[in-house]
Amino acid sequence: MPELPEVETIKRQLNREIKDKKIEKVKVNLPKLVRYPLAKFEKLVKGAIIKNVNRRAKLLIVELSNGYVLVVHLKLTGQLIFNGEIGKHTHLVYYFTDGSFLVHNDLRQFGFVKVISKAKLDEFFKKEKFGPEPLSREFTLKVFKKYSEKRKRSKIKPLLMDQSFISGIGNLYADEILFKAGVRPDRIVDSLKSLEVKKIYQAILKILPLAISRGGSSIDTYRDARGKKGNYLSLIKVYQRGGNPCFVCKSKIKRIKMGSRSAHFCPKCQK
């Protein structure tokens, strides 16, 4: 957390709030958050104009006017809030020449900011080995089936969360996608019928855009770029609902361990 819908929400909002703004200075309160020599980082961003904010998988890519990009990973508890309150968990503050500012908070300090030359960005992403973007035109049913056939012995939920398989899906949305598709999270890919694979693909294309339209899901510390909570949680069907009745059939939602993570599903609605 944040997953694709949350990062996409922040990306869209930042493009409205900080695009074309000029950075006057940056204040770094936690040097380890910046994966770049600190003095060089401060010098590099000073005077740069924000040209665009993009997203790849769960990463934000802030394009600067000087040929560099800031690659930001919010990890579990990161926040980027425009004109946000500056507190004890604020580790970076970007001040703009018009008097506005952007705060980077991170309670657990797992996130980072990397500085990369725009010319080397494609090379960086190749090393990360990201899978296809699920909301791109290139992500067709044919592509999804092709990728799935290469991972026949994998269990479907961990596979959906594998960033080298599909970019951006995490624990919450994998649970919700599989409920929508009617497929148990512990099914082996090779056991899935063609129609079930199609239903998973269709669920991806429905759940992710819907979550974006609701500003994402505020689990724990997630806030959008304006400091507001996402409201997709009101639509959640199984995630973290273990022991509660299914909204469809009233059966108790089950919670099982899958490696270091948990999976939630309805034993009647999902087969």
Catalytic residue, from 2, 5, 134, 185: name it: 2
Active-site residue, 151 included = no
Catalytic residue among 21, 55, 58, 199: 58
Q: Are 3 and 58 in contact (CB under 8 A)?
A: yes
- Number of helices and strands in the chain (H, E): 7, 11
* 3-class SS of residue 34: strand
What SS3 class is residue 150? coil
Distances (CA, A) of 250 to 99, 137, 172, 175: 54, 37, 21, 18
Q: What angle do CA 17, 19, 23 make, to 5 degrees?
A: 100
2 has catalytic annotation:
yes
Beta strands in the chain (DSSP E): 23-28, 34-35, 50-56, 59-64, 68-73, 78-82, 90-96, 101-106, 112-117, 254-258, 261-265
The catalytic residue among 51, 206, 229, 261 is 261
Q: What is the DSSP string of 184-214?
A: -TT-BGGG--HHHHHHHHHHHHHHHHHHHHT
What residues contact residue 97 under an 8 Å CB cut-off, 6+ apart? 21, 22, 23, 24
Mark whether 3 is an active-site residue. Answer: yes
d(CA 269, CA 271) in angstroms, rounded, equals 7
CA distance 233 to 206: 15
Strand partners, 62: 53, 70
134 counts as catalytic:
no
C-alpha–C-alpha distance, residues 188 and 258, integer Å: 13
Catalytic residue from among 3, 6, 8, 63: 3
**Which positions are catalytic?**
2-3, 58, 261
